[in-house]
Amino acid sequence: MQTSPELINEKVIRRATKQVDNEDLVKSSFWISQIFMIIATVAGVYLAAQEGLS
């Protein structure tokens, strides 16, 4: 019996999604690091824009 690639991919995706652990999303350290990442990105874009304008 042959299986199609789509069926194999669907099985792999289902197995992977069952193993996904969302525990990290409720930790405060995750959210604090994400906030600092956003602040650093905004500051970097601002500084790059200021340098480009000068």
pLDDT of residue 34: 93
Q: Which helix (H) or strand (E) holds 13?
A: helix 5-18
Look at the chain and report how many structural domains it folds into: 1
Tokens of 22: 């969302």
Is the residue at 31 inside a domain?
A: yes
pLDDT tens-place string over residues 12-51: 777 766 666 677 677 888 889 999 999 999 999 999 999 9
Is the residue at 44 inside a domain?
A: yes
pLDDT of residue 42: 97
Is the residue at 39 inside a domain?
A: yes
Say what the pTM is.
0.54
Provide the residue range defining the domain that includes 33: 22-54
Q: Return the number of other C-beta atoms located less than 10 Å from residue 35's C-beta.
A: 10
Q: Collapsing DSSP states into helix, strand and coil, what is residue 40?
A: helix
